[in-house]
Amino acid sequence: METNESKDARVYIRVGDIEIDISGEQQEVDAHLLKIMEGEEWSTALTKIRSKREGAIAAAIEAAKKSGLPDRGSAFKSLIENCNILKKPDRVLAAIHYLKDVEGVEDVPPRVIMDLFKDSELEPPKNLSLYLNRLFEKNYLIIPKGSSNKNKYANLTLEGRAHLDKLSKT
């Protein structure tokens, strides 16, 4: 008689009418999951997830516009003040995070970052390039492969997100 104790791994994913339920030993689950990820069902599930996510973001943006939420400057300033982000490089990192993850801006050239500081009535960084270079050196920002302009297409790394999270908890 086989007991559940011999099964040490399980993956369960449900997206709409697509259900993936794999259990067994870790190697079996990994192999089966890799096989599924190569198939049409996995692609369909990811497409549904992306579609729902985009719909939810669009609905949230529309609801925010209708409810009269603060403009971008005051929203960013609130983020900076509420999270007690004091250092200029950290504020630049927070600006990139805000522009990319909150506003959904794909490319963030230096003038867009500077405009956000002006809109928020926060003192803009005097040497933005220096701060960006420091953030790259600390592995808080990364340039996606195939992007030519490092400042314009920089994204936060996991370390950069963790750093901002740490700042907001202090």
pTM: 0.59
Fold annotation for 72-169: Arc Repressor Mutant, subunit A (1.10.10)
b/e per residue 73-90 (b: at least 16 CB within 10 A) = bebbbebbeebebeebbb
What average pLDDT does range 111-120 have in this prediction?
92
What percentage of the chain has pLDDT greater than the value 70? 87
Indicate the domain borders of the chain: 4-67, 72-169
Q: Percentage of the chain with pLDDT > 90?
A: 29
How far is it, in rounded angstroms, from Cα 157 to Cα 126?
A: 24
